[in-house]
Amino acid sequence: MTHKDIPLKERIILALDVETAAQARELVKKTESRLSFYKVGLQLFMADWFNTVDWLVDRGHKVMLDLKFFDIPETVKLAVAQLREHGVSFATIHGNDPIIRAALTEKGAVRLLAVTVLTSFGEEDLRAMGMTQSIEELVYFRAKRALELGCDGVVSSGLEAGRLRAGLGDRLLLVTPGIRPGANVLDGADDQTRIMTAGRAVVSGADHVVVGRPISKAADPLAVIEAMQQEIAAGLS
């Protein structure tokens, strides 16, 4: 497998899943010596609108805006157009055909990521919804379709990364959430179902890994980041 030439500081996208802009900025200042890519999700965006996004871009960082746009196509089109003025690098949308087509018309330089299946979902959740295929099959189908329509990439767990990379090639941008330090991956005490270590996810084919609480809640966030980066570097070598 050929891995893309992505700076180590950008391999980990730190999720700023906090309540206030002040908390987000404090976390960025603690970690920006080792990271340069941050995720702004729905909670922080609702609290601070584009202010934290603009602040991050002004500091030279990349931003993944994770709002998972899902609405009528015209509304999604107009919402995506708003991102172009704010220097957003990645934005997430739901992988519905009309939504993808609408978003593509206004994306500009923003790289669009279609959400496949949330990492909080497991096989039992799919069965409860009356779906018969496996999560891996569903993720692959949605990712293939998103790529065919022109999406830059997808969001999926590391458990599906190998299949996606092998079947869809290097053109696919693959961003993987549900990342946990090795000691916590199999302890069962997690609200994410499909999880993996940073090193294994990248080796499996992920371009970037999204990490939140394992870093933000750590007593020493820089030590956790360093350990994950060492895992990633070892896997890439």
DSSP 161-227: HHHHHHHH-TTSEEEE--B--GGGTTSS--S-SS-B-HHHHHHHT-SEEEE-HHHHTSSSHHHHHHH
Q: 117 CB contacts (<8 Å, ≥6 apart)?
A: 135, 138, 139, 142, 156, 157
Pairing of strands 37-41, 62-69: parallel
Q: Is 68 a catalytic residue?
A: yes
Q: 188 CB contacts (<8 Å, ≥6 apart)?
A: none
Looking at 68, 107, 144, 217, which residue is catalytic? 68
Question: Helix and strand tally (H, E) in the chain?
Answer: 12, 8
* CA–CA distance, 180 with 126 (Å, rounded to integer): 23
Question: Which residues are part of the catalytic machinery?
Answer: 68
